[in-house]
Chain A
Amino acid sequence: MDNKLSLELKHISKTFPGVKALNDVSFSAQPGKVCGIVGVNGAGKSTLMNILGGIHQPDEGGEIFINGEKVVIADPKASTELGVAFIQQEVQAFDTMNVYENILAADLNKWRKKHSLALDRAAMKKEAQVHLDALDSHIDVDAPVYTLTVGDKQIIQIARALSQGGRILLFDEPTSSLSDHEVAMLFGVVRRLKEQGYIIFYISHFLDEIFELCDNVVILRDGQLVDQAEISDINKEQLVEMMLGYQIEGNTHSREHAQDEVIFKAEHISGEKLPRDFSFELHKGEILGVWGLLGSGRSELFNTILGIDKMMDGKLFFKQDGELKEITQKDFYKHIGYLTEGRHYDGLFLNMPICQNITSSDLDQFAAKGTGILNPAKEHVESRKLIEQVGVKTPDENVKVSKLSGGNQQKVIVAKWFLKDPEILFMDEPTKGVDVGAKNEIKELIFDKAEKGTSFVVISSELEEIMSLCDRIIVIYEGRLVGEVQKADFSKESLMKGIVSQEDKDAE
């Protein structure tokens, strides 16, 4: 490895229409060090990565130096040629192909035999083996990738990055789907790479990992660089403080406390991987927050309870006729609404009018009993009412949802579930990708509905939001329930406590 490997960013800003995603960020990285990058969602981490990856260009005035030379990363190809390589959270692998083919997939022409079209498989395997050896891995180069564990696939991704000449390696949440054992293996690999003099960036929501693996850490908040610090100079509390940046005030909204009546109880819920043995209770009219880091199994908890993912173990109880009775997932689904995280992925029917999107949650309201004939006039009236209630800005209810802005689309989903008016509403990141104005409006809608007796279970990665919204927060970590905080005790310390103590326990 040559000695002059270096990376320096100077005055990087990035403006998207209406948002300043990065604001004058400068820092540098040295070979042989692991540099952590931390920040809450929306802090600017992914924009920064996209700039290094050549997907976005920085605003005028920003400069990137690699090995002391000023470079322009015009596109992903240029980025690869400069030796920048990404190891993604979602494993990028070709499942039906062999290990060595996966490692060397990007530049197959290089492996042609002289005077022949055939690939030199022996040489390919040897080369793949060299990279695997460098990572101290024992994966068989001939094995089909679908037989491997996620952790091994992750290693293959790293080997691929090295084979492409990667010397600046960016790990983006690499451990979020790994088991403890695999994480340990990955850390071993990262340390080896560090010793060999690569520049390594490590993005993670798991603060414990940052402290275990990194030498220094870059903290981003609202697109600005808060600090670049040696890891030995700070502790976990200080780091969280810097990431969040503000003192959170508890109880900003005065509203009647939830009723005491338990409406739903989940017992010992276990999924295929996450969650693990998770139990909680929900009261009528309560807004219950589920807080955890990315990858803690928050969304998996919802999916498992609601039968989208397979439930391996556990029981659901739901209050019917004044009695808490066990209920099947299928029956339970009739009483709930589920606002998912992926708006376009599984939240909307983009090419259909607003009106039909709203009524999709409960067509029975508009259908004649027996024949199933719909009453379009009623559909229009009801959806107009809801459009008004949640404040979707649109000329009328016949507009296709794809033509609305992100905030308005989100409100359509809220309207959709308000139409069904279920007893319980599960919401996964209800204000994700929505501007501040719409955020507050959606929150007000949730409060209103809760007053009227609907119970909410809400996931949010924004601490401020979850604290201002919820009556009670349960904390999830690695799929397990690790804490419960009442409104009176809301503070980031009390929430972090469960996680910090758990990470300490794991570290032992």
Chain B
Amino acid sequence: MSEKLKRFTSNNKQLLIMLGVIAVVFIILSLTVPNFSTARNLTNLLQQIAPIAVMACGATYVLVIGGMDISNPAVMAASAVVGVYYMTTGGGNLVLGTILIVLTGTFLGLINGFAIAKLKMVPMVVTLSMMTIGTGLATILSGTRGLPILPASFSNVLNKTVVIIILLVVMIVMDFILTGTKFGRKLYYIGNNARTARISGIDSENITMFTYAISGMCAGIAGVINTASIATARANMGPQSQILDIISAAVIGGVSPNGGSGRVRDAVLGAVLIVGLNNVMNLLAVSDYYTTLIKGGIIIGAMGLASYRQQQAAKRGV
């Protein structure tokens, strides 16, 4: 029995650490920060967490194969705007529009993947230009006056509860695919050693392409969530700096920025911490700038931790 417990703790070290940290922070905050533990604030918090967390799931996939996708917020905004444009100006069906948002994200991600896997372009550059293309697409479609408001039924159906369910479903499904299926395992193989993966008969090219498409799909889902919360879509709903929240959520959750390790659920917990931080700062009426300052510090700290982990692993390995 104790053997099993030991095995469980060693396999889920990151999860336990993250849960521990979150629990401690939560208790401290509930006791010290007024209004923190109110049901209203907590559901608000979860709703704020959801889009970042969903994109962090996609970012985890990309980081695991040793890639990089900084176009996520821009793709999110672009797909939301495309979908809302269709639903309002285009007079389209709400259900189809929602699907269109997710599909647009997936499609833009697929373009990233195609350029990286098939055309062998540098991920950073590809997603950088996708970032400007996405933002551009969103600004063009939303125009100077912005898009009209969606019918209330949209936000009513996709209410807070549904959003949280979406997040949980995405997290559970994507975590399971990564750790429990053939496809997910191949991502780890590629991130660990792409050459060995190739020799072992793994089709790295297509898998890399799909991984970026999945990252785009997550951005699309995040687009749906954001659209629901503001009942329309704007080009600036995905500021470029948001990619930092996303990637640092993953890295704080123990996903290696150099590929080959990490789990979706831990990245989601990372997002809880990062977005929770924002929320607390808001409650404490800390100005926005200090929040950013602290977040920047946390990212540098997380990177330091990652590089420390790697050096330790290398030391142990030899």
Seen from chain A, the residues whose Cβ lies within 8 Å of a Cβ on chain B are: 308, 333-334, 338, 340, 345-352, 356, 360-361, 363-364, 366-367, 371-374, 376, 400, 402-403, 416
Contacts and interface: CB of A to CB of B under 8 A. Distances in A.
Contacts of B318: 402
Given A308-B199, A363-B185, 17 more contacts: A308-B198, A334-B201, A345-B195, A346-B196, A346-B198, A349-B189, A349-B196, A350-B193, A351-B261, A351-B313, A352-B188, A360-B189, A361-B200, A372-B182, A374-B180, A374-B182, A416-B200
Contacts of A333: 201
A221 to B, nearest CB: 30
24 contacts: A308-B199, A334-B201, A338-B199, A340-B199, A347-B196, A349-B193, A350-B193, A350-B317, A351-B192, A351-B261, A352-B188, A356-B185, A361-B200, A363-B185, A363-B186, A364-B182, A366-B182, A367-B181, A372-B183, A373-B182, A374-B181, A402-B318, A403-B317, A416-B200
B260 interface: yes
A360 B182 contact: no
B4 interface: no
A351 B317 contact: yes
Contacts of A347: 196, 199
Contact of B192 (A340, A349, A364, A366): A349
B192 A363 contact: no
A371 B183 CA distance: 10
Contacts of B189: 349, 352, 360
Interface string B145-189: 000000000000000000000000000000000001111011011
A360 B199 CA distance: 10
B311 to A, nearest CB: 13
Contacts of B186: 363
A367 B198 contact: no
Interface in B266-307: none
Contacts of B317: 350-351, 400, 402-403
Contacts of B188: 349, 352, 356
Contacts of B200: 360-361, 416
Contacts of A371: 181
A363 B199 CA distance: 14
Contacts of A338: 199
Chain B interface residue number, banded: 20 to 34
Contact of A361 (B183, B185, B201, B261): B201
A28 to B, nearest CB: 38
A432 to B, nearest CB: 16
Nearest to B7: A398
Closest 10 CB pairs of A and B: A402-B317, A346-B195, A372-B182, A349-B192, A367-B182, A372-B181, A360-B200, A363-B182, A346-B196, A346-B199
A350 B188 CA distance: 12
A374 B185 contact: yes
B202 interface: yes
Nearest to B194: A346
Majority DSSP secondary structure for residues of B touching A:
helix
Nearest to A347: B196
Given A345-B195, A346-B195, A360 B202 contact: yes
B38 to A, nearest CB: 41
Contacts of B202: 360
Contacts of A372: 181-183
A361 B196 CA distance: 10
A374 B185 CA distance: 9
B40 interface: no
A402 B186 CA distance: 19
A351 B260 contact: yes
Given A352-B188, A402-B317, A416-B200, A346 B181 contact: no
B174 to A, nearest CB: 14
Contacts of B316: 402-403
A127 to B, nearest CB: 37
Nearest to B316: A403
Given A356-B185, A363-B185, A372-B182, A346 B201 contact: no
A340 B200 CA distance: 10
Contacts of B313: 351
Contacts of A334: 201
A330 to B, nearest CB: 9
A334 B185 CA distance: 18
A257 B192 CA distance: 41
Contacts of A308: 198-199
Contacts of A374: 180-182, 185
Contacts of B185: 356, 360, 363, 374
A193 B185 CA distance: 56
Nearest to A333: B201
A466 B260 CA distance: 37
A14 B246 CA distance: 53
Contacts of A373: 180-182
Nearest to B181: A372
Contacts of A402: 316-318
B193 to A, nearest CB: 5
A364 B181 CA distance: 10
B194 to A, nearest CB: 9
A46 B183 CA distance: 43
Contacts of A366: 182
Nearest to B195: A346
A403 B316 CA distance: 7
Contacts of A345: 195
A360 B184 CA distance: 12
A443 B192 CA distance: 29
A372 B188 CA distance: 15
A376 B11 CA distance: 14
Nearest to B310: A351
A60 B175 CA distance: 57
A400 B195 CA distance: 18
Interface in B61-102: none
Nearest to A340: B199
A4 to B, nearest CB: 44
